[in-house]
A = this chain, B = another copy of it.
Amino acid sequence: MNLACASCPVRERAACAVLTEAERGELARAGRTVKLKRGEMLFAAGDEDHACATLLRGALKVSAVDREGEERILALIHPAGFVGELFQPFAHHDVVALTDCELCVFARREMEAALERHPALARAMLRRSQDDLHAARELLELTGKQDAATRLAGLIMAMARAASDSPCHPSQAFDLPLTRGEMAQMLGLTIETVSRRMSKFEKDGLIAKKGARGIELVDPARLEALVGVGL
A binding-site residues for B, Cβ under 8 Å: 62, 64, 66-68, 70, 72, 74-75, 85-88, 92-93, 115-116, 119, 122-123, 125-127, 129-130, 132-134, 136-137, 139-141, 143-146, 185, 188, 228-231
Contact = CB atoms under 8 A, between A and B. Distances in A.
B93 A137 contact: yes
A145 to B, nearest CB: 8
A66 B3 CA distance: 44
Nearest to A74: B137
Total copies of the chain: 2
A85 B130 contact: yes
Contacts of A143: 140, 143-144, 188
A90 B100 CA distance: 36
A154 to B, nearest CB: 10
A168 B141 CA distance: 29
Contacts of A68: 228
A141 B229 contact: no
A88 B135 CA distance: 13
A138 to B, nearest CB: 8
